[in-house]
Amino acid sequence: MTETHADALSGLESPEEAAYELRAAEASIWTGSRLLISIFAFTFAALAFAYFYLRSSNSADLWRPNGVTAPTATGAAIMAFTLAVTGLQYYGVRRLRSGTILDWEVAGWTAVLAGLIALGLQCWELTDVPFTPGSSGYASVFTGWAVLNIALLLGGLYWAETLLARHVRLRRAHVEEGGEKSGLLVARVTRINIVSCAHFWMFIGLIAVFFWVFFYVVAG
């Protein structure tokens, strides 16, 4: 036997209750995204702790022997592409708020493309570093950063891509059902999610800048 929420709740949910739960669902996405940022903030704080701890300990005088640094140009490119995603997300949200959905779509897909490039560069950089992972404290922390950054970019891109994919499918379904291609649907269904995703990308952008400074500018 199969039972569904629809079966169970049909006739039980008044319009006021439905509206109450809708508000709760929207607020949950808002709070959830902030809590998600906190979770990742602690994650990267642990990485930053490792960076400064090993740098100040300088065990066996092997924090960063001979001033070796990861490829600066690649690192800068990764940061630039990550910031591009952040900027495009921000721009898309602004355009969406002003009712221009097409701009949001174009900015969103461009952002996904830029994010994929950043991700690819980060993976490639790992194969192109002028040190072995265990050769120094710096090399170790850099390897850890690369792995965590790949995970972060993957997570952020997944969120951005799924929002766009969902939008495309909903719009198509809406048109097939005879509805107009209006801004109402996407605004109602995913606006708060889109804004939250943009905030998450701002956090990713900040992380990218901080660790770019740590690893390429003031590596010590």
Please report, as residue ranges, which positions from 147 to 166 form the binding site for other proteins (by CB under 8 A). 147-148, 155-156, 158-159, 161-163, 165-166
Does position 168 interact with other proteins (CB under 8 A)? The reply is yes
Closer residue to other proteins (CB): 25 or 76: 25
Candidate list 59, 66, 98, 127; residue touching other proteins; CB under 8 A: 59
First-residue to last-residue Cα distance in the chain: 65
| Torsional sign, CA 82, 83, 84, 88 | positive
Choices 21-29, 107-115, 176-184, 208-216 (CB under 8 A): range interacting with other proteins: 21-29
What is the greatest pairwise CA distance in the chain? 73
Interaction mask 68-107, other proteins, x per CB under 8 A: ----------------------------------------
Residues 178-217 that bind other proteins (CB under 8 A): 189-190, 193, 196
Q: Name 59's Cβ contacts closer than 8 Å, sequence gap at least 6.
A: 137
**Integer Cα distance of 80 and 66 in angstroms:** 27
Contact 125, 82 (CB under 8 A): no
